[in-house]
Amino acid sequence: MKFDFKKLFNFKKPQNELEGTEDAPAAQPAPEEPRQEAAIPEKLAEKCESCGQIVLSDEMEENLGVCPKCGHYKKLDARARIASCAENFEELFAEEAGGNPLGFPSYDEKLAALREKTGEKDAVVCGTAAIGGVRCALFSMDYRFQMGSMGHTVGEKITKLFEYAAAQRLPVVGFILSGGARMQEGIVSLMQMAKTSAAVAKHGEAGLLYIAVLTDPTTGGVSASFAFEADIIVAEKGALIGFAGPRVIEQTIRQKVPEGFQRAELLQEKGFVDLIAERKELKEKLAALLKIHSAEATA
Amino acid sequence: MNAYEIVLKSREKGRPTAAKYIEKIVDGFIELHGDRRFADDPAVVGGVGFLAGKPVTVIGIEKGEDTNDKLAHNFGCANPEGYRKAMRLMREAEKFHRPVLCFVDTSGAYCGIGAEERGQAEAIASSIMEMIRLKTPALSVLIGEGGSGGALGLSAADEVWITETATYSVISPEGCASILWKDSSKVAEASECLKLTANDLIELGAVDKVVPEREFSEEFFASLKGEIAAFFAEKAKIPAEELIEARYRRFRKF
């Protein structure tokens, strides 16, 4: 491990004499790797899930969740994603929280545990905000809630947002992250694809803009509905985007999928993505797109 | 019959496929091929004909009957061009004020490298969005397996009917059991939990009518034909905007 552990802790004053001082031999950081790992305070530093190197949490946050060592994109939760791109966010439909429409075994407990763990009611956060000074309605999906899967609550909030945006004549920006439909809600989950699609269509028929930002991963019932119904489809660099997951495809065709398959870059090459943005330039690109669409056209 | 027995029945060999329904219900059917972009998808069969003397556009997901026929139709698993062909035919129907009749029977849209590269997700998404805003009446009849997004792509209709032992589900019970419980032997349990039978679906409002199968006799087809004709005759009286608004509300309730 290349990380300089001593440097990290040098600025910390000992809190009492029992902790010793920097100079006291007992307080010296242990040279062996395992003991160093065990001593890392949770919020100060974190291990990159890709390269395994230790990164200061502050630095990771400033870098919008992109590892400064290897460039890996850590998933952003719904609110961190909004904060990375928008200002003056005001939440809508925050109280929306569905139940267990099919009475699926263990689903109530699962929902309760996820709500407790994430502090969110479900896998999407909706509201209004400004991006580059242009007011818009936006939604952002949360990987911590069953990898952003869509059941009634997700479908309902997104539908309400498109209806609200149509009434207020606002563009919609959607930060999409989803493994697909929520299995435990069965056919109710499938119907969300139709419900959201109809709301997207109606908003579009009113002459309003919808930009979808596809992030890693965007698959299944979400990719086969509102993710691919936007006027402009932006994909975050390297994002996995597809209908079926790679594992399902490998099982179907009984062979490995090629390198780079279903990645944002290949989708752009094949003609299904308008543009690819790095995380740090996403805000700027969205602002530019919104500005062009909100300016008065001469035609 | 329990849910799992119904699942098996919905896939049973010898069950009439979309081609049979088209043959028995649509007079003077002319098949129209291709999506005008890439290819003709044999898993989606579509064209024009007459239903009780009125022109109709009919689209079916065709599984095929015997082994060779199944292979020829890719076992009823449509590629993106299948959905794009369906959309093209729907647009043509709209232009000439014809209703659209869909027969849906698929284990799901095809999962393969080519399907992904040609935008399976985009094709299904667009198909749902176009169908749900179609200016002419649309009816979908689930006649076997209603497999997830692949079935929904042709089921964003004014009404969705189902035959007695057909199913409609977000995922196959096998998929559900293996993903959720990591145990593919729990298929029967998953079949129950998913509420995918006609009776469950009526209760949940996902389908509007259950059609008794009468062992798929001549009477079955004759009676279904009559009901479809009556449905379209009724819907023909409704102005397009009202039709679209009612369709919006139908799906908005979920």
State pLDDT tens for residues B227-247: 999 999 999 999 999 999 999
| C-alpha neighbours within 13 Å on the C-beta side of residue A37 | 7
Binary contact (B170, A185; C-beta < 8 A): yes
Residue among A149, A243, A248 with most chain B CBs within 10 A, to mutate: A243
Determine the distance in angstroms separating the CA of B231 from the nearest CA of chain A, rounded to an integer. 22
Binary contact (B125, A220; C-beta < 8 A): no
Q: List the beta bridge partners of residue A232.
A: A211
Q: List the beta bridge partners of residue A264.
A: none
Residue among A106, A107, A193 with most chain B CBs within 10 A, to mutate: A193
B211 and B16 Cβ atoms separated by less than 8 Å: no
Binary contact (B133, A205; C-beta < 8 A): yes
Centre a 10 Å sphere on the Cβ of residue B64 and count the other Cβ atoms it contains.
19
Binary contact (A155, B133; C-beta < 8 A): no
Write out the two tokens for B57. 């556009």
Q: Which domains does chain B have, with CATH numbers?
A: 3-170+197-249 (3.90.226.10)
Write out the two tokens for B109. 């849209």
- Distance between start and end Cα atoms, chain A: 61
Nearest CB to B120 within list A243, A261, A266: A243
Helices (H) and strands (E) in chain A, counts: 11, 9
Residue A109 exposed, middle or buried by CB count within 10 Å (0-12, 13-18, 19+)? exposed
| C-alpha neighbours within 13 Å on the C-beta side of residue A285 | 17
Q: What phi-psi label fits residue A72: left (phi over 0), alpha (psi between -120 and 50 degrees) or beta?
A: beta
Residues of A in contact with B196 (CB under 8 A): 186-187
Listed by number, the residues of chain B in 54-93 with a beta carbon closer than 8 Å to a beta carbon of chain A are none
Distance of alpha carbon B232 from alpha carbon B215, whole angstroms: 25
Binary contact (A224, B176; C-beta < 8 A): no
Distance of alpha carbon B166 from alpha carbon B207, whole angstroms: 11
Residues of A in contact with B176 (CB under 8 A): 183
The one-digit pLDDT tens for each residue of chain A (299 residues) are 444 444 444 444 444 434 433 443 444 444 444 444 555 555 789 999 999 999 999 999 999 999 999 999 999 999 999 999 999 999 999 999 999 999 999 999 999 999 999 999 999 999 999 999 999 999 999 999 999 999 999 999 999 999 999 999 999 999 999 999 999 999 999 999 999 999 999 999 999 999 999 999 999 999 999 999 999 999 999 999 999 988 889 888 888 988 899 999 999 999 999 999 999 999 999 999 999 999 877 76
Q: Which of B5, B191, B172 is nearest to A102 (CA)?
A: B191
Q: Which of B7, B11, B4, B16 is nearest to B221 (CA)?
A: B16
Write out the two tokens for A219. 């698959």
| C-alpha neighbours within 13 Å on the C-beta side of residue B148 | 27
**CATH architecture of the domain covering A78-294:** Alpha-Beta Complex (3.90)
* Per-position DSSP letters for B39-61, written without gaps between them: ---TTEEEEEEEETTEEEEEEEE
Distance of alpha carbon A290 from alpha carbon B185, whole angstroms: 51
A142 and A169 Cβ atoms separated by less than 8 Å: no
Nearest CB to B113 within list A202, A226, A249: A249
Determine the distance in angstroms separating the CA of A190 from the nearest CA of chain B, rounded to an integer. 5
Residue A65 is given by DSSP the state: T
Distance of alpha carbon B14 from alpha carbon B11, whole angstroms: 9
> What residue spans in chain A does CATH classification 3.90.226.10 cover?
78-294
Give the ipTM of the model, two decimals please.
0.97
Residues of B in contact with A266 (CB under 8 A): 117
